[in-house]
Structure 1
Amino acid sequence: MSLKYTIYLLVFVMITSCQQKQSKTSKKQVAYTYGTENDSAIFYFNKGWEYILDYGQWTLSDLAFRKAVSFDSTFVIGKALVGKSTTDLTERIKILIDINNNENEIHEDDQLILEVTRITIELFNARDQKLQLSDNFIPNFMSTAEKNYREFIHKYPNESYIKAEYIEVLNAIYGPKLALDSLHSLTTPNQKKIPFFISYAATLESDLENFDNALSIANDFNKQINNPKIPQPYVLYGSIYLKMDSLSLATSNIDRALALDPNHIFAQRFKKQINDKLKIIDSND
């Protein structure tokens, strides 16, 4: 048995165990409040996640996280999400200082989320300041994210957007096959209907080069959204067509997404990848 397969098997056993524990506890769970007692703050905090993960509305997501903090100035995790979403380096540095000054005062479960977000902000700050990171920074970051998110969703299986983040981390570490299996095994029946999990299943299928499956799921996702002003279906189609080297279709979809929200980071990246491929084609002609 290869080392890679052994690691895959061990990780999936842990995930299955997590799924079994969730099935016993999910009915007892109430919505997690992430360290704020203000109903409006948690409402806009959850809206921020919904905008960015379900609909690809990065601008609205940033505004929602800021509105959450406006209702509770002591909402540390809310501030951290503003820090993660902002493109303003000066603001991000100030938020990181605030997080570091207050992280020991919050609940240990909140710290699971805050630690990962804090490291993300450190990464963004280093990138924008052109600072050299240590060789083990990214591996340690991925290990911390996997450990913290797994522990959190064991305790709070109905917290869909942290579960979404966890599955993205699994994809980054172990690849799309395990991430796709985890998505199917970890999500509750209600979570399977959430737009992010549908669209991300299509993304993972396309990563595995199962393009017919990916496009079929993307079509279902588009029908569910049923709104031409929402960027995410265009981003999803564009990313799939990019992997298929259908650059014309990829371009038209990504351009429509960016017209709806120019701040969509992944759409910006896909646009650059398309342009890079087109340059190579032009240079070979």
Structure 2
Amino acid sequence: MSLKYPIYVLVFILLTSCKQKQNKSSAEPAVYTYGAKNDSAVFYFNKGWELILDYGQWTLSDKAFRKAVSFDSTFVIGKALVGKSTTNLPERIEILNDLYPNKNKVSEDDQLILEVTRLTIELFNARDQKIKLEKDFIPYFMLAAEKNYRTFIHRHPNESYIKAEYIEVLNAVYGPKIALDSLHNLTTTKQKKIPFFISYSATLESDLGNFEKALSIADDFNAQINDPNIPQPYVLYGSIYLKMDSLPLATSNIDKALQLDPNHIFAQRFKNQINNKLKILNGND
């Protein structure tokens, strides 16, 4: 009888250990902090990505990134995203200058993101200052973005918005077919429901000339958003109609998007493309 007690204890320990392992494996992955030391900073940093990529709310996104930094003044990646989102050239120059001495103060994984963001800000500053960059800058930039984002998302597959940036880079480098295949293959079941990945799949389908499918996905996206005050559905419809040369529909959608957020960079570009096409049609080229 005296031998049974240790056996029962052993069985109990083994069962408890297995249960703990199961609970641990089924638990939600830890939130990646990007070097922020404050939960509120992380929250508003992720909110900034959500606002710009999912909903096309560029103005609110900039405010969210700034709020993230207000909660943690040492948040280097947060400051870099403020530099990427701001339209204020002097502020962007100052932020870029601040990034150089701080680049070695972040983790190895954060440096992957910081390098690409730094190059993006450098590109924006050169454009606004009308400075000609070295001829190999863009190839180097695209190579670094592809390499760094790929490394990061394989280490952190649940970081949806860096994965979104990676797929956009793939589209720029290799075209919509590879980008669309990558979107389907790299996103988790949960990520496939994120608004950006739905809307971007419609964008890529339209780039491939699959307009009927693109519009069907856009309808699903619009139904999911279900808010007439969100710019992104209008931008998506407008971009698709622009590729279809349905200029009145493209114009009405892009104008609505810009009415909701005048700072939407892609809507501004689409508006310029529409105007250029209209000039050609009207013989004003």
- Relative to the length of structure 1, the TM-score reads 0.90
- Checking the alignment, whether the CA contact within 8 Å between 1:237 and 1:253 is kept in structure 2 is yes
- Counterpart secondary structure, 1:283: coil
Looking at structure 2, the residues matched to 183 and 26 of structure 1 have their Cα atoms a distance apart, in angstroms, of 25
Instruction: Please state how far the C-alpha of 1:27 moved relative to its aligned partner.
Output: 7.0
Identical aligned residues as a percent: 79
Shift of 1:239: 0.1
Structure 1 gaps of 5+ residues are 1-24
What's the offset of the Cα at 1:97?
A: 1.0
Q: Within 5 Å, give how 1:1-285 maps onto structure 2.
A: 29-283=29-283
Which residues of structure 2 form unaligned runs of 5+? 1-24
Task: Report the Cα distance in structure 2 between the residues aligned to 1:29 and 1:142, rounded to whole angstroms.
Answer: 30
How far apart in 2 are the matches of 1:215 and 1:137? 36
CA–CA distance in structure 1, aligned partners of residues 210 and 102 of structure 2: 46
User: How far does residue 31 in structure 1 lie from its aligned partner after superposition?
Assistant: 1.4
Q: Distance in 2 between matches of 1:40 and 1:28?
A: 19
Q: Distance in 1 between matches of 2:26 and 2:246?
A: 42
* Matched-pair contact (CA < 8 Å) for 1:234–1:254: yes
Q: In the alignment, what sits opposite 1:10?
A: none
**d(CA) in 2 for partners of 1:26 and 1:99?**
38
Over the aligned positions, Cα root-mean-square deviation in angstroms equals: 1.4
Number of equivalenced pairs:
261
Runs (4+) of structure 1 exceeding 3 A deviation are: 25-29
Distance 1:46 1:90, change over 3 A: same
Asked whether the equivalents of residues 29 and 156 of structure 1 are also in contact (C-alpha less than 8 Å), the reply is: no
The CA distance in 1 between the partners of 2:99 and 2:202, in whole Å, is 35
Q: Assess if the C-alpha contact under 8 Å between 1:183 and 1:197 holds in 2.
A: yes
Relative contact order, CA 8 A, sep 6+: which one is greater? 1
Partners of 1:63 and 1:102 in 2: how far apart? 23
Letter in 1 for 2:254: I
Looking at structure 2, the residues matched to 249 and 70 of structure 1 have their Cα atoms a distance apart, in angstroms, of 41
How does the TM-score come out when normalised to structure 2? 0.90
Q: Which has the larger radius of gyration?
A: 2
2:28, 2:133 → 1: CA distance?
A: 42
